[in-house]
Amino acid sequence: MPVARKCSFCGGRIEPGTGVMFVKKDGTVQFYCSSKCERNMRLGRKPHRVKWTERSRKLRGKA
């Protein structure tokens, strides 16, 4: 049975068969739900500073 993954940037749910899997040189695997999340991670943005991410919403008490 396919497993639903969690986005490495925004924390959103990724349905099986969608999203992007990125494997780093050290072997760690990151999953992205959209190109928006992938671009933000590559630009070096921190998820807790971007207002629309799940982590940021929890820190601000809005989740």
What does the pLDDT look like over 6-61, one tens digit per residue?
Answer: 999 999 999 999 999 999 999 999 999 999 999 999 999 999 999 999 989 998 99
Distance between CA atoms of 59 and 11, rounded to whole angstroms? 13
Domains of the chain: 5-58 (2.30.170.20)
Give pTM, 2 decimals: 0.85
Is pLDDT at 63 greater than 70 in this prediction? no
CA distances from 21 to 17, 27, 49, 56, 60 (A): 11, 12, 23, 23, 29
pLDDT at 52: 94
pLDDT at 30: 97
Q: Which helix (H) or strand (E) holds 30?
A: strand 29-32
Amino acid identity, position 47 = P
